Amino acid sequence: MDVERTELPGIGVRFEMETKRGVRMGVVAHREGRRDLVVYDPDDPDTTLECIVLDSDEASSIGELLGGARIVEKLNRLHHEIDNLVSRKLTVAGNSPYAGKTLGDTKARTRTGASVVAVIHDDVVSTQPAPTTVLNPGDRLVTIGTDESVNAVDRILHGSK
């Protein structure tokens, strides 16, 4: 959705947009927090047909309702995916064949389907580890996947496979 921004000197900012169904609408954001929700006249795009004045509390409540619906949807979707997912911290033991090797060397994802989403080294968490990340003894790998696949990664790290 394209949002057009216009400065209103001394008042605030105006945002204009058009919905897919062709309704032109806008929001006037006043400096002091007031928000005007504006709907334009379909016959005359220069003219306001309807203007709803909201104070800052009302505006944020409505914003939560509008945005909230999407958040609930997203959560539901995630929930379905999460239902049979587990996340565990797997420790790289000192005798692990991969101690001193890189994360890419384990080929954990290709072999098991589980993802290593972070590496904890000396209590420092680095998210999104690259295949080139070196694994040191004592590092913990935050791994997400099905119970099955995470266990498989654990076995790989222990060199029992």
Partner 1 sequence: MDHLVELLLELGLLTVGLGVLGAIAGRFSISAIPLYLLAGLAFGEGGIYELHSSAEFIEIGAEIGVILLLFVLGLEYSPPELMSTMRTSWKSAIVDVVSNAGPGVAVALLMGWGPVAAMVLGGVTYVSSSGIIAKMLSDLNWLGNRETPTVLAILVAEDLIMALYLPILTTVLAGVAFSQAAWGLGFAALAISVAFIIASRGGQWLGHWLDSPSDEVLLLKVLGIILVVSGLAEQIHVSAAVGAFFVGMALSGEVSQTTERVVEPLKYLFAAFFFVNFGLQTDPSQLPPVLLIAFALAIVSMATKFGTGWWAAKQSKLGFSAKLRAGLVLLPRGEFSIVIAGLAVSAGVVPELAPLAAAYVLIMAAAGPLLVRLADPIAKRRIKRLRAARRQARQDSAVV
Using CB under 8 A as the criterion, which residues of the chain lie in contact with partner 1 when the complex forms?
6-11, 14, 26, 28, 31-32, 36, 38, 40, 43-48, 51, 53
User: Is the CB of 4 or the CB of 148 nearer to partner 1?
Assistant: 4
**What is the spatial distance between Cα 30 and Cα 106, in angstroms, rounded to a whole number?**
56
Task: In angstroms, give the least distance from the CB of 18 to partner 1.
Answer: 13
123-156 residues labelled b (16+ CB within 10 A) or e (exposed): eeeeeebeeebebeeebbbbbbbeeebbbbbbeb
Task: In angstroms, give the least distance from the CB of 23 to partner 1.
Answer: 13
User: Is the CB of 9 or the CB of 94 nearer to partner 1?
Assistant: 9
User: Is the CB of 51 or the CB of 72 nearer to partner 1?
Assistant: 51
Q: How wide is the angle at C-alpha 66 spanned by C-alphas 61 and 72, nearest 5°?
A: 105
Task: In angstroms, give the least distance from the CB of 86 to partner 1.
Answer: 48
User: Is the CB of 7 or the CB of 122 nearer to partner 1?
Assistant: 7
Task: In angstroms, give the least distance from the CB of 70 to partner 1.
Answer: 25
41-68 residues labelled b (16+ CB within 10 A) or e (exposed): eeeeeeeeeeeeebeeeebeeeeeeeee
In the structure, how many helices (H) and strands (E) does the chain have?
4, 9
Task: In angstroms, give the least distance from the CB of 97 to partner 1.
Answer: 58
User: Is the CB of 48 or the CB of 151 nearer to partner 1?
Assistant: 48
